[in-house]
Chain A
Amino acid sequence: AQKITQTQPGMFVQEKEAVTLDCTYDTSDQSYGLFWYKQPSSGEMIFLIYQGSYDEQNATEGRYSLNFQKARKSANLVISASQLGDSAMYFCAMREGQGTGFQKLVFGTGTRLLVSP
Chain B
Amino acid sequence: DSGVTQTPKHLITATGQRVTLRCSPRSGDLSVYWYQQSLDQGLQFLIHYYNGEERAKGNILERFSAQQFPDLHSELNLSSLELGDSALYFCASSVGVTGTYNEQFFGPGTRLTVL
Contact = CB atoms under 8 A, between A and B. Distances in A.
Interface string B5-49: 000000000000000000000000001010100000011110010
Interface of B: 2, 31, 33, 35, 42-45, 48, 50, 55-56, 58, 88, 90, 92, 94, 97-109, 111
Contact of B90 (A45, A47, A106, A110): A45
Interface string A34-46: 0101000001111
Contacts of A85: none
Interface in A93-116: 93, 95, 97-107, 109-110
Interface of A: 31, 33, 35, 37, 43-47, 50, 52, 54, 91, 93, 95, 97-107, 109-110
A101 B97 contact: yes
Contacts of B101: 33, 50, 52
B43 A91 contact: yes
Contacts of A100: 98
Please give me the 8 A-B residue pairs with the lowest Cβ-Cβ distance, nearest first: A102-B56, A45-B106, A102-B55, A107-B43, A104-B45, A44-B108, A99-B98, A102-B48
Given A47-B103, A52-B101, A103 B56 contact: yes
